[in-house]
């Protein structure tokens, strides 16, 4: 098991129906890592995450979770096998309380739910105070916390985050990146899709740059930040 | 004061309004749940009420023929509820399931077809004519009458109305417990909130769909039996006539809000009955012939000024 990757995607072609969006993705996440996917709009960043979850038509290629092939798995089985997925939008149940949201995250589990909720309240102390409030009444940043805690209710083997900081104020963006680091320190490997390329690469151990459905550049987070081409394309640098 | 206004107002307008409101409320619960969880306006919902009442009638007649004792409608309703729910879970499996990811209008049209199928089936089996549900004159409950008479406020609640109001209250409490305390009930609220997120949270949506038919069907059959108890007779169009006020109640309360539907039902029921009370002068406010227009008016006004309903339901 020690040499298997938490997530390993090999030569993946996938899309909606017959429309191919991913044209040969090769990507992996080690057990202790935070990995970021950055790239321009329409490059297929979110599509990578969705195909891992079984939401898309996989044309060819291989996806494995801890060495187990998960191509063609149904979304509920994917969740049950330990994938914590946080969608970009509509990622909480607004009319359910925070506690109920967490319970829904644990739908596929039958025991240990109250204990897990307590662990989540330790990880996200702000949520504990408001646990009986409906999630729709929270601020954007707190909603994102609920969404992450809800996703972590399964026994996470990997966490997939789809643009977690989109639409948040800079203060909350930094807070989210700090939280991602904290979750990772607790032993959860993380695959992160981000628009906010600079902060994402600063947070991540490694990064992939996706252009037009395939990965063009990969490397250590800091190396990508210093890479002139990457900088020119995504980081707003002028030289 | 009581002699001149109260007696007539309470006994002939308020209590019948409450009873009608209870029936609308129970029916509207199923409509609002199907609308928010299965995403379509179920035109066959009135027929669930109707066929449930016919099953109940059959159980009453059978027990009378076999054992010589006619069952109380509420007892006879127990097997009828199970039969109706079983039937509609089968209908969902073989009739609605292929439409699960089709556009809404197709499912709505399909439900319209289902409405006609059920009504024709009932007409073929039980005949197109009215049937007597409970014979005789409804006497007021003696206990309530004597007690209220002793404090100079004679309230005449027929036993049937007493059962309808009490039964509705029991179902409300059970529903509230189900939706807020059980896993399946919370799951129903979650799917109603966001079906896409429910799917990627690992929630088994097909179980939730079955639970929706179960809860909606249970409330609808209860509404049908209560309606038959109130009218003391059955006819094959009884459910269809309830459809408009029930939709009005669901929209008034906000789609996806079961408790909103209850409030909406009570408001519509009371509004219909109180609209014919002689508020000014001697004549009724509006002619009783226009009573059914009240629900329609409320629905249209609500859709224009606040389409999300009183309790901020979903918009489609």
Question: Are residues A91 and A168 in contact, defined by beta-carbon separation less than 8 angstroms?
Answer: no
Terminal-to-terminal C-alpha distance of chain A? 45
pLDDT for res B214: 95
What number is the average pLDDT over the span A82-99?
93
Confidence of residue A159 (pLDDT cuts 50, 70, 90): very high
Measured between beta carbons, the chain A residues lying within 8 angstroms of B186 are 96, 100, 103-104
CA–chain centroid gap for B119, Å, is 17
Please indicate whether, in this complex, the C-beta atoms of A100 and B198 are within 8 angstroms of each other: no
Nearest C-alpha in A relative to B190: A93
Is any Cβ of chain A less than 8 angstroms from the Cβ of B182?
A: no
Confidence of residue B151 (pLDDT cuts 50, 70, 90): confident
Domain of residue B7: give its range. 2-130+143-305
Domain-embedded: residue B153: yes
In the DSSP assignment, the letter for residue A94 is: T
Question: Are residues A68 and B191 in contact, defined by beta-carbon separation less than 8 angstroms?
Answer: no
Domain-embedded: residue B244: yes
Confidence of residue A238 (pLDDT cuts 50, 70, 90): very low
In the DSSP assignment, the letter for residue A91 is: -
Sign of CA dihedral B277, B280, B283, B287: negative
CA–CA distance, B43 with B31 (Å, rounded to integer): 9
Give the CB-side neighbour count of residue B184, counting CA atoms within 13 A. 13
Is any Cβ of chain B less than 8 angstroms from the Cβ of A114?
A: no
Domain-embedded: residue B7: yes
Measured between beta carbons, the chain B residues lying within 8 angstroms of A79 are 200-202
Nearest to B202 among A91, A96, A107 (CB): A107
Q: Does the pLDDT at position A20 exceed 90?
A: no
Please indicate whether, in this complex, the C-beta atoms of B186 and A92 are within 8 angstroms of each other: no
CA–CA distance, A71 with B251 (Å, rounded to integer): 43
Measured between beta carbons, the chain B residues lying within 8 angstroms of A107 are 183, 187, 201-204
Q: Please classify residue A231 by burial: count the beta carbons closer than 10 Å to its beta carbon, then call 0-12 exposed, 13-18 middle and 19+ buried.
A: middle
Domain-embedded: residue B211: yes
- Secondary-structure percent of chain A, ordered helix, strand, coil, rounded to 5: 35, 25, 35
pLDDT for res A235: 60
Q: Does the pLDDT at position A239 exceed 60?
A: no
Please indicate whether, in this complex, the C-beta atoms of A104 and B190 are within 8 angstroms of each other: yes
Domain-embedded: residue B310: no
Chain B nearest C-alpha distance from A146 (Å): 13
Is any Cβ of chain A less than 8 angstroms from the Cβ of B181?
A: no
Domain count, chain B: 1
Measured between beta carbons, the chain A residues lying within 8 angstroms of B193 are 93-96
How many contacts does A have with B, using Cβ atoms within 8 A?
A: 59
In the DSSP assignment, the letter for residue B289 is: G
How many Cβ atoms from other residues are within 10 Å of residue A43's Cβ?
22
DSSP string, A170-201: HHHHHHHHHHHHHHHHTT--EEEE-S-HHHHH
Domain-embedded: residue B315: no
Residue A7's beta-bridge partner residues?
Answer: A29, A65
Domain-embedded: residue B67: yes
Question: Are residues B8 and B265 in contact, defined by beta-carbon separation less than 8 angstroms?
Answer: no
Residue with the two structure tokens 């305390």 = B181
User: Interior CA angle at B218 toward B216 and B220, to 5°?
Assistant: 65
Nearest C-alpha in B relative to A49: B200
Question: Which residues, in sequence order, are CB contacts of A200 under 8 Å at separation 6+?
Answer: A36, A38, A177, A192, A194, A207
Phi and psi at A236, nearest 5°, equal 75, 15
- What tens digit of pLDDT does each residue of B51-79 get? 999 999 999 999 999 998 888 999 999 99
Task: Calculate the average pLDDT of chain A.
Answer: 89
Nearest to A75 among B183, B193, B199 (CB): B199
Question: How much of chain B exceeds pLDDT 70, in percent?
Answer: 98
pLDDT for res B316: 66
Residue with the two structure tokens 């969404």 = A147
Phi-psi region of A90 (alpha: psi -120 to 50; beta: other; left: phi over 0): left
Nearest C-alpha in A relative to B181: A100
CA–CA distance, A81 with A165 (Å, rounded to integer): 26
Confidence of residue B281 (pLDDT cuts 50, 70, 90): confident
Is any Cβ of chain A less than 8 angstroms from the Cβ of B204?
A: yes
Is any Cβ of chain A less than 8 angstroms from the Cβ of B65?
A: no
Please indicate whether, in this complex, the C-beta atoms of A95 and B187 are within 8 angstroms of each other: no
CA–CA distance, B17 with B13 (Å, rounded to integer): 6
Domain-embedded: residue B208: yes
Question: Are residues A92 and A150 in contact, defined by beta-carbon separation less than 8 angstroms?
Answer: yes
CA–CA distance, B214 with B236 (Å, rounded to integer): 22
Please indicate whether, in this complex, the C-beta atoms of B197 and A90 are within 8 angstroms of each other: yes
Question: Which residues, in sequence order, are CB contacts of B303 under 8 Å at separation 6+?
Answer: B251
Measured between beta carbons, the chain B residues lying within 8 angstroms of A76 are 199, 202-204
CATH code (residue B214): 1.10.3470
């Amino acid at each position: 098991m020690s040499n298997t990757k938490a997530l390993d995607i090999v030569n993946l072609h996938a899309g909606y129906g017959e429309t191919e969006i991913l044209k040969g993705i090769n990507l992996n996440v080690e057990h202790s890592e935070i990995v970021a996917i950055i790239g321009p709009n329409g490059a297929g960043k979110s599509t990578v995450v969705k195909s891992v979850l079984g939401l898309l038509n996989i044309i060819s290629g291989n996806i494995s979770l801890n060495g187990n092939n998960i191509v063609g798995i149904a979304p509920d089985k994917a969740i049950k096998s330990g994938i914590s997925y946080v969608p970009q939008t509509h990622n909480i149940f607004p009319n359910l309380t925070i506690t109920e949201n967490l319970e829904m995250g644990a739908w596929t589990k039958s025991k240990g739910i109250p204990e897990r909720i307590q662990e989540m309240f330790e990880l996200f102390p702000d949520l504990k105070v408001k646990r009986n409030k409906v999630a729709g009444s929270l601020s954007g940043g707190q909603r994102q916390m609920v969404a992450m805690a809800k996703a972590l209710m399964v026994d996470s083997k990997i966490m997939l985050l789809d643009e977690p900081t989109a639409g948040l104020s800079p203060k909350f963006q930094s807070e989210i990146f700090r939280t991602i680091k904290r979750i990772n320190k607790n032993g959860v490997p993380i695959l992160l899709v981000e628009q906010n390329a600079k902060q994402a690469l600063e947070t991540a151990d490694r990064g992939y740059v996706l252009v037009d459905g395939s990965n063009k550049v990969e490397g250590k987070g800091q190396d990508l930040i210093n890479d002139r081409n990457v900088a020119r394309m995504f980081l707003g640098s002028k030289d | 004061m009581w002699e001149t206004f109260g007696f007539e107002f309470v006994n002939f307008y308020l209590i019948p309004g409450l009873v009608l409101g209870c029936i609308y409320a129970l029916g509207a619960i199923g409509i609002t749940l199907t609308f928010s969880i299965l995403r379509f306006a179920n035109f066959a919902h009135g027929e669930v009420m109707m066929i449930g009442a016919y099953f109940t009638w059959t159980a009453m007649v059978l027990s009378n023929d076999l054992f010589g004792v006619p069952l109380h409608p509420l007892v006879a309703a127990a097997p009828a509820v199970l039969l109706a729910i079983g039937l509609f879970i089968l209908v969902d499996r073989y009739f609605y399931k292929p439409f699960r990811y089709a556009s809404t209008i197709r499912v709505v049209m399909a439900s319209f077809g289902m409405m006609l199928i059920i009504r024709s089936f009932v007409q073929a089996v039980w005949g197109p004519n009215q049937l007597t549900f409970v014979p005789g004159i409804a006497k007021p409950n003696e206990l309530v009458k004597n007690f209220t008479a002793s404090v100079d406020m004679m309230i005449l609640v027929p036993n049937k109305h007493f059962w309808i109001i009490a039964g509705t209250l029991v179902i409300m409490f059970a529903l509230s417990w189900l939706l807020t305390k059980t896993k399946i009930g919370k799951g129903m609220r979650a799917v109603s909130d966001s079906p896409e997120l429910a799917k990627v949270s690992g929630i088994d949506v097909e179980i939730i769909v079955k639970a929706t038919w179960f809860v909606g069907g249970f409330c609808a059959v209860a509404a049908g039996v209560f309606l038959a108890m109130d009218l003391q007779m059955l006819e094959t169009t009884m459910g269809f006539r309830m459809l408009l006020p029930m939709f009005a109640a669901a929209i008034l309360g906000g789609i996806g809000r079961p408790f909103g539907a209850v409030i909406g039902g009570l408001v519509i029921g009371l509004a219909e009955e109180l609209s014919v009370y002689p508020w000014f002068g001697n004549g009724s406010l509006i002619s009783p012939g226009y009573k059914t227009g009240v629900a329609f008016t409320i629905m249209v006004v609500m859709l224009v000024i606040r389409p999300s309903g009183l309790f901020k339901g979903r918009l489609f």
